[in-house]
Amino acid sequence: MTAFPKPPSGGIDYEHPVGDPGLFGPDSVTWRIHNDFCGMLAGGLCALYLQTLHPRALAGVWDHSNFRTDLVGRLRRTTAFVGGTTYAPTAEAQHMIARVRDIHAQVRGLDEAGMPYSADDPDLLTWVHVSEMASFLAGFRTYGPMAVPDAAADAYFNETRRVAEALGARDVPGSVAALDDYVRSIIPTLVYTERTRVVLEVLADLDLPVPLAGLSRDVFLHAGAHLLPPWASDLLRRTPADQVKGRVAAATLRGMAPLFRAALTEGVATRSCRRVGVDRGILTTWPRA
């Protein structure tokens, strides 16, 4: 708990109003997958790797954020949005979505090749959503506490696409098969550029706000990269040495994960369980179909 203190809730009261299930509720697969710290952090870093391959997604970060000096802040904001839309009471979750839509409306420009982009482009929103949800699921499957049945994986994509659609995304995959089809269609548009290289260099020097930050960074970054599908590893030019580091980090994080689960018991998921009057133990089993 000293190394990874409870994150601030951003002023959101996760314990009230009593009985409000939020956008998903305790019977959702999403509540379970997003409750795993190691899977979510490693998955979030994996998603950052993936997003460096999309020229227009990367252009928005390049032009409209201070990623060079505050990449941790960007990661925290993404974490706060995912956590809030997952667990917050309904009105708070809807407010977060509306606020992000307002921000997206102001983010536009030209990518590295001179092609126009806008953060509220429905196709771009779909890519960002898919890269994150696929990475979170991969993180849970690799570092989480239980195996993921096929039906649960399908339910996860079907549930979480409602957030992407509320942000303006379209044709969002709602199952593993649909996601596989989508990924096959988008791979030809992804590319490693000079901007990709620069962002990866910044990511490699990321300072996590924890003791032994260098060690923690290396474990989580390589454990996140280990989640990349082979086609993405190839595009990102990961070397055989990088692959070895990924396997070592993944084994290390799998060994550490039970300790994190034992220590991190008072997060937003636990408080949300209290809000709807259920025991947090329900998050350790899959909901009944």
| C-alpha radius of gyration, the chain, whole number | 18
Global pTM reads 0.94
| HEC secondary structure over 152-214 | HHHHHHHHHHHHHHHHCCCCCCCCHHHHHHHHHHHHHHCCCCHHHHHHHHHHHCCCCCCCCHH
Q: What mean pLDDT comes out for the span 183-210?
A: 89
| Structure confidence at residue 5 (pLDDT) | 44
Q: Is 147 helix (H, G, I), strand (E, B) or coil?
A: coil
The pLDDT tens digits for 27-75 are 999 999 999 999 999 999 999 999 999 999 999 989 988 877 777 777 8
Q: Which contacts (CB < 8 Å, 24+ apart) does range 158-161 have? A: 159/24, 159/28, 159/29, 159/30, 160/30, 160/129, 160/133, 161/129
pLDDT band at 214 (very low <50, low <70, confident <90, very high): low
Mean pLDDT of the chain: 92
147: tokens are 């195996």
Q: What mean pLDDT comes out for the span 156-172?
A: 98
| 8 Å CB contact between 54 and 117 | no
Reply yes or no on whether the pLDDT at 20 is more than 80: yes
Q: Angle at Cα 62 formed by Cα 53 and Cα 189, nearest 5°?
A: 25
| Structure confidence at residue 106 (pLDDT) | 93
| Structure confidence at residue 79 (pLDDT) | 87
| Structure confidence at residue 204 (pLDDT) | 87
Q: How many helices (H) and strands (E) does the chain have?
A: 13, 2
167: tokens are 């942000």
Distance CA 33, CA 28 (A): 9
| Structure confidence at residue 147 (pLDDT) | 98
108: tokens are 């536009």
Residue 119 φ/ψ, nearest 5 degrees = -70, -15
| Structure confidence at residue 4 (pLDDT) | 46
| 8 Å CB contact between 44 and 78 | yes
| Structure confidence at residue 1 (pLDDT) | 44
| Structure confidence at residue 203 (pLDDT) | 87
pLDDT band at 242 (very low <50, low <70, confident <90, very high): very high
- Bridge partners of 109? 117
The pLDDT tens digits for 222-238 are 999 999 999 999 999 99
pLDDT band at 3 (very low <50, low <70, confident <90, very high): very low
Which residues of the chain form beta strands (DSSP E)?
Answer: 108-110, 116-118
